[in-house]
Amino acid sequence: MEFRAGHADEEFAPWSVLSDISITMVLFLVIFIVLQFLQTYRDSAINRQLRLEKETVAHEIVTAAGAQVILDTTDSPERQRLTFRDATLFETCQSALKPGGQELLEIVGSVLARHEALFLTVSVEGHTDTLPTPNRAGCSYATNWELSSARATSVVALWSANGLITNAKMSSVGKAEFHPIDPQALERNRRIEVLLTYDRGYVQRRVLGDDR
């Protein structure tokens, strides 16, 4: 009886298997590098568009309101800060808006309304100096917490009443005297700040050509 070895006499080729594995690993590495490059490129494009949007908003505010508003466009790619001096908006230790302050806020609010789709949130912050409110003549607020909160709320209430910005996007908060620009400069510390947080997802859709 004759037995045949069939393929048993064929040699096993380990280098062929290792070669296949190496090629697969290289392909995965190339794909990973390409994906990382595309992600970096996309993030860079989104950040460029965010800067352009912030510059557009800043230009329109400066054109409409002049030097009455101080703009900071370097806070972060997604954030922009507007600062109003308290004397522009309010009488000393009061939270009711002065006629000129109301007009200024309506001008700025109209600019923000034109670009509202860009904003995820619009947060209004009230800030005071370190002088206790009971030491101020005619002041009806017991603490700087109350004064700063009431002033921030007045700004939000105006924009809400005029239908300039969607209520759900707005918030107000009093920071009292605890976040000074300069501890020695009382006048500079009395201010209203509006923090605009840009919707990165919305900007991304615009960059990718999807405005839904």
pLDDT tens-digit readout, 60-102 = 999 999 999 999 866 688 999 999 999 999 999 999 999 999 9
Cα of first residue to Cα of last residue in the chain, in angstroms, is 79
Q: Report pLDDT for 36.
A: 66
Q: What percent of the chain has pLDDT over 90?
A: 64
pLDDT reading at 107 higher than 70: yes
Q: What are the structural domain ranges in the chain?
A: 53-207
For residue 172, which of 124, 130, 115, 111 has the smallest C-alpha distance? 124
Q: Report pLDDT for 13.
A: 61
Q: Report pLDDT for 90.
A: 97
pLDDT reading at 172 higher than 90: yes
For residue 196, which of 106, 107, 117, 105 has the smallest C-alpha distance? 117
Check residues 22 and 140 and name the one with the higher pLDDT: 140
For residue 174, which of 207, 141, 151 has the smallest C-alpha distance? 151
pLDDT tens-digit readout, 33-61 = 666 656 665 777 888 999 999 999 999 99
Torsion-angle region of 79 (φ positive above 0: left; ψ -120 to 50: alpha; else: beta): beta
Give the pair of three-digit tokens for residue 71.
């703009």
CATH class of 53-207: alpha beta
pTM, entire model:
0.79
